[in-house]
Structures are given as structure tokens and as C-alpha cells.
Amino acid sequence: MSFKAALHAQRIVLDGALGTQLEETIPRENPLSVKGLPLWSTKVLIQEPSMITKIHQSYLEKGASVLITSLYQASLQTLQKHENMSLEQSRQVWKKSIDCAKDAVKLVKPSSKVFIVASIGPYGAFLANGAEYSGEYGDISIDKLCEYHREMLEYFAASDDVDCIAFETIPKFEEVKAILKLADEVLSNCRKEFYITLSCKNSAMLADGTPLADVFTYMLSEDFSKTVKDCFVATGCNCVPFEDVAEFISNANKTAVSLNVEPLTLIVYPNYGFENDMSDVSQYVFKKSSEKWAQAVEKWCLFTNVRGIGGCCSTGPEEVAQISKIVEQHNH
């Protein structure tokens, strides 16, 4: 079954955080500590990949059926800048991330279908200055953004081990347009499925200040090629406050109603009490409210077009277990 078919068949449970889970696991004084580093979880992937596999395992054990690879900050340009890696060396890192997910599946759910989703982070992750929360990219064109994402997209498009590609935490409207333009070029032969989740300023605005209604209108009404229409399986949000998600969903659906079209298929995996002081990207805190998390997940499940639910920063196996329990109840 394809990822798209699975989304249409029933709601599916995504995994939770990787980077912040590593931060909780690895003491700050440990050489493997990732907090505030430009490579983030990719550092552990390169040096101690078994730790990545263990986190994947923990989510599968709690009911996740989707594993997102640990490559959010592992673009070719990022690996070249911080590790002086060649294209071939970068591809080996990307392969290692996929292998970590595959290993976890073999250990926990060898006879079950688990979707491996390859993560491609925003250009803001390369800048490593918090731009994925602001969309402040400086002077960069859509064509330059296409080239930034090209190598990773081409690699994952050719991989038989990747079920879907996730462009995550996208804060800028021009980057959304770049991704859809690039997908049309790269995916025309392989038809690999992908989704785009957005980084938002609030429930009504993309992080760069663009009204979400404009972004949704573009996705719903632009005359895309058959390649994009077939392969672009969902949009949604991630790395946003979980309290904002229900209104985000409502705004997406209002746009569809205003255009008299079917609503977008949505995937949501927000933060759970993550607060980031952008004056110092290494300093942030978590303020969890567990009783509110389940209530929020219940609310998201009331929207029939929300087909994938998971967690981003500061979520862990217990939050995924809550999602799994609630989703199972709503699927039956």
C-alpha cells in the first residue's frame, strides 16, 4: 500500500521528536551532545547511529506506523559546510539514516507495514539561525531554493526504501513554490510521493507573514502538472504550538470551502510545550501540559481530512502512545 493510499484508508500515527529526544538522552557535557549545534541529530547519526535506531524503536513500540528519518539538518550544503563532505559522502549519510529506520522496523515490527519518510528540512535549517521560524532567508530566488533541495530530492526519489518524502518546517511561501516546481521536474518519472508541512507564525499566517489562506489557495487552485497532482499527497504543519493546530486546520478547510473544492489532506505534528528564545538558539525550554495533549489530539481527529498525526519538538514515546490510542478509537 502506498503512503497516499494509507492516508485515505484511515488515520495513521507518525513518530515524535528525534533531536529533542537526543537532547534529553545525552548529557550536555557529553561529546555527543547535540543542543544548539548546526547538525543537530545528524551529528549522532554520523557518530553513533544506533542511538537513532533506538529512538525509532521506541516510537514503533508505542504505536507509530511512520518513521521520519533523522535528516532535518543534513542537506548537501550543510554537510559540506560543517563536515567538509563530498556529494558521495553526503549520500552515505542519507543512506545511513534510512538504514536506521529500516533496522528499527526489523527489530520491532518485521511483519507490519511501516512507512519510512525521508526528511528534507527547510533552507532555514542550513542557515542555522532560527530562520525556519521566521522565513527570513535574505535575497534568495525560487530557482536557488530549487537547487538547494535538488540533490536530496533526487536521492530519495530514486530510493526503493523511501515510501514518501517530507519537506518539513517550511516557513516561506517562495520555498513552497520552489518545492512544487522542483517536484514537477524531479518526480515526473519515478512518481515518488511527498508532502509539505509548514512552519507558522500563528494559526493564520505562515512564518514569513504570508496569510495561510494565500498558501492554501495556491495549493488548491494552481494548475499543477499531473506529476504534482499525483505525488503531492498532503500538507499540514509541524514545529508549531499544539494549541494552534485546530485553528490551523479550520483555516485550511475554510479556504477549501471558499473555493468550492475538496479540502486538503492534512498531516499535523506540532510541538509539545517547546519555547525557543531566538536570540540564542541553544537556549530553549519545554513546558509540558500532558492533560491538554490528549484533548488536542481528540479535537484534531474530529476533522475528517486530518489523516496523519504525530509529534515534533519535545514529544516522546508517551505522547505518541496517546496519539495511537486516540487514533485507534476514531478509526473504528
pLDDT of residue 112: 95
What are the residue ranges spanned by the domains of the chain? 3-331
Beta bridge pairs of residue 235: 196, 266
State phi, psi for 15 to the nearest 5 degrees.
-80, -170
Consult the annotation and say whether 313 binds a ligand. yes
Beta bridge pairs of residue 301: none
pLDDT of residue 287: 53
Report the alpha-carbon distance of residue 139 to residue 182 in Å, rounded. 19
Consult the annotation and say whether 312 binds a ligand. yes
pTM: 0.95
CATH number (3.20.20.330, 3.30.460.80, 3.40.640.10, 3.30.2270.10) of 3-331 reads 3.20.20.330
pLDDT of residue 278: 46
pLDDT of residue 23: 87
Provide DSSP, 120-149. Answer: E--HHHHHTSSGGGT----S--HHHHHHHH
pLDDT of residue 32: 78
pLDDT of residue 285: 52
What string of pLDDT tens digits covers the 332 residues of the chain? 999 999 999 999 999 999 889 988 888 888 777 777 778 899 999 999 999 999 999 999 999 999 999 999 999 999 999 999 999 999 999 999 999 999 999 999 999 999 999 999 999 999 999 999 999 999 999 999 999 999 999 999 999 999 999 999 999 999 999 999 999 999 998 899 999 999 999 999 999 999 999 999 999 999 999 999 999 999 999 999 999 999 999 999 999 999 999 999 999 999 997 665 544 555 555 556 667 999 999 999 999 999 999 999 999 999 999 999 999 999 98
Residue 26, helix vs strand vs coil? coil
